[in-house]
Amino acid sequence: MESFGTRLRAATDRLGPLCVGVDPHPGLLAAWGLPDSVEGLASFSETVVAALAGRVAVVKPQSAFYEQYGSRGIAILESTVAQCRAAGSLVLLDVKRGDIGSTVRAYAAAYLDPARPLAADALTVAPYLGTGALEPVFAAAHAHSAGVFVLALTSNPEGASVQHARTADGRTVAQAVIDDAARRNAGATPLGDVGLVIGATIGDTGHTLTNVNGPLLAPGMGAQGGTAAGLRAVFGDALPAVLPSYSRQVLGAGPSVAALRAAAESVRDDCAAVLRG
């Protein structure tokens, strides 16, 4: 199989630079006229697949919203992931796992091994036990031509106290994470397989992003305040590597399949005008 970076570039070239986060929280289910139940979750997921699978480059289910319903919720997540991949969208599973030793190896197998029922094209990970502790995830991603998105600069206010702390060599923790991704992606074309998560609403980061050579996921677009035009201030010269991620602004258009598609197309076009303009 082609590398994740190659497949991601092909998907965004074909379908446009857009990731849609699938976050079926109770308020959204209610807005769609669905119950806060396994049945509501199933109906929601079926509609999202019908509307967006194969029509957007990347679909990003948030695992927690499925996990809260137990084994039946996980079964719906498995089906959603498989259907989106089969339709031609890449699936980035938003799980933000981070651990050590045999545990992180098990996480890597769970989400990246194609023989496992929850296998996705990529997953999100947290580096705060040390990026070296994530080595089994990077190894699994390489073995299975998958991707890894590492949290680097997040938009939640609590994140700065950790991410902007200084390491012994004077870099911020975030810059150390960024530099590690750049090292892992060195020489890859058209993009490396190790991406970073950088919030779309944080403004000028004060960090060096131009050498990452991997995808830069920008969550927080739309309802959370991020705008297509605002991506320039956050990413600067690294703008061509950005993958904007919308959730509520797209999903809020449901449950109409046509309205969901129109919302996704609208934000995709807005972002393409900035990223490719």
The residues annotated as belonging to the active site are 96
Other CB atoms closer than 10 Å to residue 274's CB: what's the count?
Answer: 17
Other CB atoms closer than 10 Å to residue 27's CB: what's the count?
Answer: 11
Greatest CA span in the chain, whole angstroms? 54
Q: Residue 82 contacts by C-beta under 8 Å, 6 or more apart in sequence? A: none
With vertex at residue 8, the alpha carbon angle to CA 150 and CA 274, rounded to the nearest 5 degrees, is 90
Provide the β-strand partners of residue 49.
none
Long-range contact set of residues 80-87: C-beta below 8 Å, sequence gap at least 24: 80/22, 80/45, 80/48, 80/49, 81/118, 81/119, 81/120, 83/49, 83/53, 84/49, 84/52, 84/53, 84/54, 84/59, 85/120, 85/121, 86/53, 87/49, 87/53, 87/54
